Structure 1
Amino acid sequence: MNILKMVEDQLPSLSRQERKVALQVIQSPQEVQQMSITTLAKKVEVSNATITRFVKKMNCRDFYEFKLQLASGGKPEAKEISKGSIADDVFSFYKNVLSDTSERLKMDELRKIVEVISNCRRIYIFGIGSSGYTAQEMSQRLIRMGIAAFPMNESHIMYITSGIIGKDDVILALSSSGSTSDLNKAAAMAQKNGTKVIGITGVEKSKLYELSDYPVLVKNSDFVDNTHFVNSQFAITYVLDIITTLLLENETFRRRLNHTVEIVMENKFNNSL
């Protein structure tokens, strides 16, 4: 069996500390190949003995043998998508959306947004409909980093919130069309209290783009051949992934995230026993 596949299969049965090693191996196998056992132990904050126990559970005599198997296993070959298939159609759609969105993005502007989020007291993430689900998911990411984040996906609650937040707070507004009336009105109301608005939308001349203090333009899925049921939030999620990754350059946020992920995994695997 491929060593990475074995690590994935054995993950639920590992101890809490061993799972930290396993996740590092799964996520960065090539990096682990270049590490000494001491370097890896320091990286994931476990003891050398924990790594020794881990590799023995993977049927390896020692860490050196484990690294050899890791090197020889290689990456699993990507499954080829047949041309003209439904899978190919969806893949082409997503590729176009990502490519066009990437061309629109300016990293210095995204880094400024990350700075604003990092220094705010609270961040309220506005989104209605599909964007509301994206707002909930992004809020969970930020909460795991220790950032006070609150998803708002109902217009009445947005209005109430906008009336009480202030200059130390931030709104992250998500709308593919940029023309969601209630969302835009609530965001504009908050601006009167000094609240900064980050807006992510697919339409440059939209109300949301124009009112935002920090506007981000993505590819609108409506502008691609989108006659099938595909994820209209894909471009927005791509930008949120970039913002999340930039936030994790902050050591404090990264440490908090690792700690909360560890707690969640511990609970998840304990409940599965």
Structure 2
Amino acid sequence: MIYEKSVIPIIESKYTLFTATEKKIADYFLQCDPGMDISIQNVAEELYVSQASISRFAKKCGFVGFREFIFAFLDSVRVKKPNANMITQNVFNTYQDLLNKAYSIIDNDQIQRVVRMLVNSKKVIAVGKGSSGYAASEMESRFVRVGLDIDSLTDSDRIRMQSVFLKDGDTVVAFSISGKTEDILFLLRSAHDRGKKNIFFTSADSQALHEFCDEVVVVSSLEYLENGNLISPQFPMLLVLDLVYSEYINIDSVIKSAILEDTVTTLNKKEDDKRFYLSRQDRFR
């Protein structure tokens, strides 16, 4: 499977950062029929905005100007979805759409910065609630096996109390799909005020978050997918977490592979001991 950058998820990921006029332009491109006349003159007249506003919008999306933006936009919407009448096909198509969205908005330089923050941390506290809590628990389960000192918290009271116990060298990694979970934001602000590093995985970027978060990792949103309700909401976060994990274990890979092997061996030994104990019980019945 070959993935290509798409304009649509770029617009979606930056939506909360747009001005009111730019949101008007964004809505137009998120909903417009690609068969329409979408020259800069026609769009300006239809939306009652200036051509300069449209050019600024295109640049805010990461393009040199409107010409480059519209070329990429038309290239994106030319891709046709296969007809899908079966429920199974709908689910697979939705996952494919989500993977394409994730590929379009991922910032590889940011992934590297996040990994360096984890490597330089004395301890990591992963937090999340609800569906996002599964991502926090999964992070602990995977990273602890390769030697990272990490705990996960999913309870509201414990998340808030953690702000009191933050120590030098701690890094808070928070997960919130909505970006509005108050307990999570409370801990992130507290960590920032105490001079601790923090990383926020969310699908709702905003300028305000950058004021107290060292890294805001934007994950794919399910909101604009036709069958987004078929996908587990934590999946986009787990996808990006896989990228972070892959880069993390690539650093000192020999040492981390040895730690992982020892961890697996220890866990397997536990199962062997359990089977031995049960067999002894059966023998004396």
Fold agreement, TM-score > 0.5: yes
- Displacement of 1:268 in angstroms is 3.5
**Inter-partner Cα distance in structure 2 for 1:190 and 1:180:** 16
| Residue pair 1:178, 1:207 contacting (<8 A) in 2 also | no
Q: Secondary structure at the match of 2:125?
A: strand
Partner of 2:172: 171
Q: TM-score by structure 2 length?
A: 0.62
Deviation at 1:267, TM superposition (A): 3.1
Q: Secondary structure at the match of 1:99?
A: helix
Residue by residue over 1:49-104, the C-alpha shift from the partner in whole angstroms, topping out at 9 and shown as x without a partner, is xxxxxxxxxxxxxxxxxxxxxxxxxxxxxxxx994211111111111111111111
Maintained 8 Å contact 2:91/2:230: no
Which residue number in structure 1 is paired with residue 262 of structure 2?
259
Q: Which one-letter code corresponds to 1:265 in the other structure?
A: N
| Paired residues, number | 193
**Pairs within 5 Å for 1:82-231:** 83-205=84-206, 208=209, 211-226=212-227, 228-231=229-232
Distance in 2 (CA, whole Å) between partners of 1:238 and 1:258 is 23
In structure 2, what residue type is equivalent to 1:255? A
- Structure 2 distance, partners of 1:272, 1:93, is 42
Q: How far apart are residue 226 of structure 1 and its match?
A: 3.7
- Report the alpha carbon displacement of residue 127 of structure 1 after superposing the two structures with TM: 0.3
TM-superposed deviation, 1:272: 5.6
Q: CA deviation at 1:140?
A: 1.2
Higher relative contact order, chain-length normalized (CA < 8 Å, sep 6+): 2
Q: Is the 8 A contact 2:128 2:176 kept in 1?
A: yes
Instruction: Describe the shift of the 1:178–1:84 C-alpha distance in structure 2 as closer, same or farther (beyond 3 A).
Output: same
Q: CA deviation at 1:195?
A: 1.1
Deviates more, 1:123-132 or 1:203-212: 203-212
Paired position in structure 2 for 1:21: none
Q: How does 1:241-260 map onto structure 2 within 5 Å?
A: 241-249=242-250, 250-251=252-253, 252-260=255-263
Q: Displacement, 1:207?
A: 5.3
Distance in 2 of aligned mates of 1:194 and 1:225:
42
Contact 2:200–2:213, Cα closer than 8 Å, also in 1: yes
CA distance in 2, matches of 1:150, 1:208: 23
Letter in 2 for 1:256: I
Asked whether the 8 Å contact 2:192–2:213 carries over to 1, the reply is no
TM-score (norm 1): 0.65
Percent identity of equivalent pairs = 25
Contact 2:222 2:228 in 1 (8 A): no
Provide the rounded CA distance (Å) in 2 between the counterparts of 1:222 and 1:203. 11
TM superposition shift of 1:228: 3.7
Aligned partner of 2:271 in structure 1 is 268
Q: Distance in 2 between matches of 1:164 and 1:200?
A: 22
Alignment partner of 2:147: what SS? Answer: coil
Q: Which residue of 1 aligns with 2:26?
A: none
Q: 2-side partners of 1:227 and 1:112: how far apart?
A: 30
Q: Deviations over 1:8-56 (max 9, x none)?
A: xxxxxxxxxxxxxxxxxxxxxxxxxxxxxxxxxxxxxxxxxxxxxxxxx
CA deviations over 1:147-181 (Å, ceiling 9, x no partner):
11110111211111112213411011111111111
d(CA) in 2 for partners of 1:84 and 1:171? Answer: 44
Deviations 1:170-226 (A, max 9, x none): 011111111111110111011111111111111122755653211111111123224
The aligned amino acid for 1:258 is E
Q: How far apart, in 2, do the equivalents of 1:198 and 1:173 lie? A: 6
Pairwise CA RMSD of aligned residues? 2.2
Change (3 A) 1:192 1:209: closer
